[in-house]
Amino acid sequence: MIETLSAIVGSANVATGPDAAAWARDWTGKYEGVPAAVVRPASTDEVAAILRVASEHRRAIVPVSGNTGLNGGAHAPGALVLSLDRMRAIRGIDTAARTAEVQAGVVLADLHAATEALDLIFPMTFGAKGSARIGGMIATNAGGSNVLRYGSMRHLVLGLEAVMADGRVMRLMGGLHKDNTGLDLRQLLIGSEGTLGIVTAAVLKLAPKPRAFATAMVAAASLPAALDLLNRLKDASVGSVEAFEYMPASYIARHMAHIRGSREPFAERHEVNILVELGATAARDATPGPDGRIPLAALLEAELEAALEAGLVLDATVAQSEAQRREMWTRRENAAEITFTGEAVVDTDIAVPLSAVPAFFDHVRPAVAALDPGATDLAVAHLGDGNVHYTVYPSREDPGLFAAIRATIDDTAVSLGGSFSAEHGIGLSKLEALRRLKDPVALDAMRAIKRALDPQNILNPGKTIP
């Protein structure tokens, strides 16, 4: 089999043994296991040929993009790893249609650079943008900080190309905004984590590059006050709020402790800290007036002053330069680095209705303390869309305790009308929650689809679908 694979992609692009070590461990360090081999194709035709070989030999095959996942979705001990890191072509950018056609291995930051050079943006961003790849983002239905304005990957993928389990290629690359020709198989593959087919290319929706940003760190009086401020800003800016990120005092403290050179956002520590950003694409909102002020920034300042008078805001700092804006964003984008710092960790990725975010914290913290009085926690949230990354550091190494804490967090989110998985996918970490909390009829439908599209169960087996 290795000889056959080497003939397809070249022997230099098949790694085994020690050469496969880079793919034997995920970013978090929680999942380790040496794959049987790593195969690095450069084209869709090569991916199709590899899938035919895997099907013939009935070998499990696990696709990997940037390997930045947090839930074990690329765990592949003894399996074939299909690395898409050589498939990095940006095939074309249509400035009139505002779309980009890309291969699955394109790094998010590279796509940002290519589109921004044309005064367009691919409007998704998160801390791992320098290593995350488009294929993995599609496979996990990635979110990030700008979902509030632009949506998740489900909203940004207009077309895709995928290789099925038997090696056939399904091409749905029309890039249309409307296409009602039967079942939406494109959406079926988005979020399937390589269990139904392997995405090799996509047509992505682009947006106009904002002409100006107005960015601020805000100390809110409370979480309900922060949500009130969010709605005020949405109304005042006519939907220009790009990000509304929550960092509590414990997050700021941990950031100060782990990131060299970091600074406090305010002169004194506040419990509720919000990074808010507005983006303007219209010249009328981005062109400085006679006083030199950008209208969008003036609007943000006026709204913050009104919120201060109303008691919703305790303090605020509006970025006066791109350097100050980047400092604010770096604080938020350091979340993964300050979360995974070596100790035992239970990391979760829940979503609840916006109005239920305060209740989530009110319910979950006493419940976790009842399980482990010595545990500490860390939270950071895309508050604008209700997505909370809630992490617990148990006081002792105990797999049973870890499972109980995770179940408590998941159950709390679901009891409030939320979800136990918002943007990081299912992988291995959330399989038990899916078994317990997903509608049983939906689970049966998911299993039936898996059997129909992958009857030999070779595509990323044991992940995503219990």
Pairing type for strands 80-83 and 61-64 reads: parallel
- Residue 102 neighbours by CB distance under 10 Å: 25
Report the pLDDT value the prediction gives residue 10, as an integer from 0 to 100.
97
Domains of the chain: 2-83 (3.30.43.10), 90-208 (3.30.465.10), 212-335 (3.30.70.2190), 342-424 (3.30.70.2740)
Distances (CA, A) of 169 to 92, 125, 206, 425, 455: 20, 29, 25, 24, 17
d(Cα 65, Cα 77) in Å, to the nearest integer? 17
Report the pLDDT value the prediction gives residue 71, as an integer from 0 to 100.
83
pLDDT one digit per residue (tens) for the chain, 466 residues? 999 999 999 999 999 999 998 898 887 778 888 899 999 999 999 999 999 999 999 999 999 988 888 788 888 899 999 999 999 999 999 999 999 999 999 999 999 999 999 999 999 998 889 999 999 999 999 999 999 999 999 999 999 999 999 999 999 999 999 999 999 999 999 999 999 999 999 999 999 999 999 999 999 999 999 999 999 999 999 989 999 999 999 999 999 999 999 999 999 999 999 999 999 999 999 999 988 899 999 999 999 999 999 999 999 999 999 999 999 999 999 999 999 888 889 999 999 999 999 999 999 999 999 999 999 999 999 999 999 999 999 999 999 999 999 999 999 999 999 999 999 999 999 999 999 999 999 999 999 999 999 999 999 999 999 8
Report the pLDDT value the prediction gives residue 69, as an integer from 0 to 100.
82
The strand pairing partners of 64, in sequence order, are 83
Q: Rounded to a whole number, what is the distance in angstroms from the first to the last CA of the chain?
A: 29
Predicted model pTM: 0.93
Specify the DSSP element, H or E, that contains 400. Answer: helix 399-415
The string of pLDDT tens digits covering residues 391-428 is: 999 999 999 999 999 999 999 999 999 999 999 999 99
d(Cα 465, Cα 193) in Å, to the nearest integer? 10
Instruction: Reduce the DSSP state of residue 17 to 3 states and report it.
Output: helix
> Residue 158 in contact with residue 205, Cβ under 8 Å?
yes
d(Cα 54, Cα 430) in Å, to the nearest integer? 27
Which distant-in-sequence residues (6+ apart) come within 8 Å of 140 by Cβ? Answer: 69, 73, 153, 191, 193, 423, 424, 425
Compute the CA torsion angle 34, 35, 36, 42 (nearest 10 deg): -140
Report the pLDDT value the prediction gives residue 40, as an integer from 0 to 100.
98
- For the record, the structure tokens of 317 come out as 């700092």
